[in-house]
C-alpha cells in the first residue's frame, strides 16, 4: 500500500483538477464554475470565461474582487506576521482597526470586538447582551437570518433548511413578525402606507410569551437579507428603538449583510438615524478575508469580564490589514455614494421590468441591496410565490454569464448584490440580461 504521506507533492499548477465530488454536498451550490481569479465586478473561470458577479460572494466583495490595494495590504502583512493572537499580543493592523471602527457609527460612544464570522459575532452580541443586562431572553424577527451555529439557528427563521432539522435549539429565544409590506394582509402596500401591525404583534409577544423586563435584547436586520431583501416601512426602526429603550431592552442591529456601504450608508441604521446598543458586522468588512465583530456601547463592553469571550483567531492580523485597506478604498473611491447612485439606477431598471412583467410582484431595495419577488399573478390573490420561475430566471442569467442569488422563505426572490465598485455600464448590462432571462424563463 502506498503511504500517501510520503508521496511527493503533486504540482498543483499542472495536475488535473480533482472531481467536484470531493466537496461534500452540504455546500449547496448555484454554479459549477471553476474560477481562477476575480477582477472588480468579474469572475474569470479557468477556461477564460468572464462572469458578471452580482452575488459579491454573498455580499462580501464590496470593494470588488481582489482590489489591488487590499491585495497589496494582505501580501505585505502576510510576509510579516500571519497570526498574532489577541490574548497574547497587540498588532498594529488590529489597533488601527479597533480605533477606527467605532468612528463609523455616530452616537455611542462605541468600542469594537473582533472575531471571525458573522455567526460568531452574532453569538458575541447575544452573550454580551445577556451578561450586561442580567436578563435571559432574546427576541428576533420572523424571516430573519443570523447564522448557522446553534444559537444563531435558534434566532433564524428565514427558511426551513436553516433550522428545521436541528432541534433541539437553544431556548429563551422568541420571534415576532417583521413588517413585510408587500405581504401585508389586504396588501400589497407601499412601505410609506404600510399597515403591517408589527407593533401590536410585539405587544402580544410581551403579553403571551415573555415579560419585556426579562428580555435582554431584540436583534434585527435593518434590511432583511436571506429572508427576502425586505425593506421596512420608514417609521419602523425609530419606533422599535423607542420601545426597546422604554423597556431597558438592548437593540442589536445585525448589519452583517447591510454594513460597509451596501445600502448607500456606511451602516443601514443611519438611514433612520437610529443608534443601536450593539451592531454586528462581518462580510464587507475585509473584502473576503474572514473577519467579523461587534460595536457595543462602551459601558456594555466594560461589563464583559476578561476571558468570558474570545477565540484563537479573532481579529486575525492579515484580516485586520485587509479591513484597514478596505475602509481606505471605501472612503477614497466614494463607494458609499456609488452604492446609492448605482442602486437607484438598478432599482429604477427593475421597476421598469416590473411594469412589463406581471410575474414580478415586487421590486425593492436600498442602495445596492436589491431584489425582485416572483409570483403567479393569476393565482390566488396574485402574490402566490413562484420558486420554479425564480430558479429558471437564475439559471438563464447564468447561461448569459450573470451571477445572481435567490432569497426568501419560499425561494421566490432574486437578490442582486453587486460590488460597490460596479459601473453604470455593468448595471445596464445586468438589467438587459435579467430581462432576456425573464423572457427565456417564461415570465
| List of residues contacting ligand PLP (CB under 6 A) | 58, 117-119, 122, 145-147, 221, 225-226, 254, 256-257, 282
Smallest distance, Å, CB 314 to ligand PLP?
Answer: 13
- Computed from CA positions of residues 226, 229, 232, 237, in that sequence, does the dihedral angle turn out positive or negative? positive
Smallest distance, Å, CB 433 to ligand PLP?
Answer: 24
Reduced to 3 states (helix: H, G, I; strand: E, B; else coil), residue 439 is helix
DSSP 218-278: EEE-SSB-TTT-BPPPTTHHHHHHHHHHHTT-EEEEE-TTTTTTTTSSSSGGGGGT---SE
Reduced to 3 states (helix: H, G, I; strand: E, B; else coil), residue 137 is strand
Smallest distance, Å, CB 224 to ligand PLP?
Answer: 8
Reduced to 3 states (helix: H, G, I; strand: E, B; else coil), residue 196 is coil
Smallest distance, Å, CB 435 to ligand PLP?
Answer: 28
Sorted by sequence, the CB contacts under 8 Å of residue 214 that are 6+ apart come out as 135, 136, 137
Closest CB to ligand PLP: residue number = 118
The C-alpha cell that represents 148 in the structure block: 448557522
Say if CB 165 and CB 153 are below 8 A apart: no
Smallest distance, Å, CB 156 to ligand PLP?
Answer: 8
Cβ closest to ligand PLP, residue 283 vs residue 392: 283
- Which residues sit opposite 365 in a β-bridge? 370
Smallest distance, Å, CB 237 to ligand PLP?
Answer: 15
User: Exposed, middle or buried: residue 440 (CB in 10 Å: 0-12, 13-18, 19+)?
Assistant: middle
Smallest distance, Å, CB 305 to ligand PLP?
Answer: 25
Cβ closest to ligand PLP, residue 226 vs residue 277: 226
Smallest distance, Å, CB 116 to ligand PLP?
Answer: 8
The C-alpha cell that represents 53 in the structure block: 458577479
Cβ closest to ligand PLP, residue 254 vs residue 386: 254
Cβ closest to ligand PLP, residue 147 vs residue 233: 147
Number of other CB atoms surrounding residue 363 within 10 Å:
21
CA distance 300 to 110: 9
Say if CB 113 and CB 137 are below 8 A apart: no
Cβ closest to ligand PLP, residue 122 vs residue 429: 122
Cβ closest to ligand PLP, residue 295 vs residue 441: 295
Smallest distance, Å, CB 118 to ligand PLP?
Answer: 2
Say if CB 397 and CB 433 are below 8 A apart: yes
Round to the nearest angstrom and report the end-to-end CA distance of the chain.
57
Phi and psi dihedrals of 81, rounded to 5? -160, 125
Cβ closest to ligand PLP, residue 225 vs residue 419: 225
Number of other CB atoms surrounding residue 42 within 10 Å:
17
Cβ closest to ligand PLP, residue 364 vs residue 392: 364
Cβ closest to ligand PLP, residue 262 vs residue 392: 262
Say if CB 339 and CB 267 are below 8 A apart: no
Amino acid at each position: 500500500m502506498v503511504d500517501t504521506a510520503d508521496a511527493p507533492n503533486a504540482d498543483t499548477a499542472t495536475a488535473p483538477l480533482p472531481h467536484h465530488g470531493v466537496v461534500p454536498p452540504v455546500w449547496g451550490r448555484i454554479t459549477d464554475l471553476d474560477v481562477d481569479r476575480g477582477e472588480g465586478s468579474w469572475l474569470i473561470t479557468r477556461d477564460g470565461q468572464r462572469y458578471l458577479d452580482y452575488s459579491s460572494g454573498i455580499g462580501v466583495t464590496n470593494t470588488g474582487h481582489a482590489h489591488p490595494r487590499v491585495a497589496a495590504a494582505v501580501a505585505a502583512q502576510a510576509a510579516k506576521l500571519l497570526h498574532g493572537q489577541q490574548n497574547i499580543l497587540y498588532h498594529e493592523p488590529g489597533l488601527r482597526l479597533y480605533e477606527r471602527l467605532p468612528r463609523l457609527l455616530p452616537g455611542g460612544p462605541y468600542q469594537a470586538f473582533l472575531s471571525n464570522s458573522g455567526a460568531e459575532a452574532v453569538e458575541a452580541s447575544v452573550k454580551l447582551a445577556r451578561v450586561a443586562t442580567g436578563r435571559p431572553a432574546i427576541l428576533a424577527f420572523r424571516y430573519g437570518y443570523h447564522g448557522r451555529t446553534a444559537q444563531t439557528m435558534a434566532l433564524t427563521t428565514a427558511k426551513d433548511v436553516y433550522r428545521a432539522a436541528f432541534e433541539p435549539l437553544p431556548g429563551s429565544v422568541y420571534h415576532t413578525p417583521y413588517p413585510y409590506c408587500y405581504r401585508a394582509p389586504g396588501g400589497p402596500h407601499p412601505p410609506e402606507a404600510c399597515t403591517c401591525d408589527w407593533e401590536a404583534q410585539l405587544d402580544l409577544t410581551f403579553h403571551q410569551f415573555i415579560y419585556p423586563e426579562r428580555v435582554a435584547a431584540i436583534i434585527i436586520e435593518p434590511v432583511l437579507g436571506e429572508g427576502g431583501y425586505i425593506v421596512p416601512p420608514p417609521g419602523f426602526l425609530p419606533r422599535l428603538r423607542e420601545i426597546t429603550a422604554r423597556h431597558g431592552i438592548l437593540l442589536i442591529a445585525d448589519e452583517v449583510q447591510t454594513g460597509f456601504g451596501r445600502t448607500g450608508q456606511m451602516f443601514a441604521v443611519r438611514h433612520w438615524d437610529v443608534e443601536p446598543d450593539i451592531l454586528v458586522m462581518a462580510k464587507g468588512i475585509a473584502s473576503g478575508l474572514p473577519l467579523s465583530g461587534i460595536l457595543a456601547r462602551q459601558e456594555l463592553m466594560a461589563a464583559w469580564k476578561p476571558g468570558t469571550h474570545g477565540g484563537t483567531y479573532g481579529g486575525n492580523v492579515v484580516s485586520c490589514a485587509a479591513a484597514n485597506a478596505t475602509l481606505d478604498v471605501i472612503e477614497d473611491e466614494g463607494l458609499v455614494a456609488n452604492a446609492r447612485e448605482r442602486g437607484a439606477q438598478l432599482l429604477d431598471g427593475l421597476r421598469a421590468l416590473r411594469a412589463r412583467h406581471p410575474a414580478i410582484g415586487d421590486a425593492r431595495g436600498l442602495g445596492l441591496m436589491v431584489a425582485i419577488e416572483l409570483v403567479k399573478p393569476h393565482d390566488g390573490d396574485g402574490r402566490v410565490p413562484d420558486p420554479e420561475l425564480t430558479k429558471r430566471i437564475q439559471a438563464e442569467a447564468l447561461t448569459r454569464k450573470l451571477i445572481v442569488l435567490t432569497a426568501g422563505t419560499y425561494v421566490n426572490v432574486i437578490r442582486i448584490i453587486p460590488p460597490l465598485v460596479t459601473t453604470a455600464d455593468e448595471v445596464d448590462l445586468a438589467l438587459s440580461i435579467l430581462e432576456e432571462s425573464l423572457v427565456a424563463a417564461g415570465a
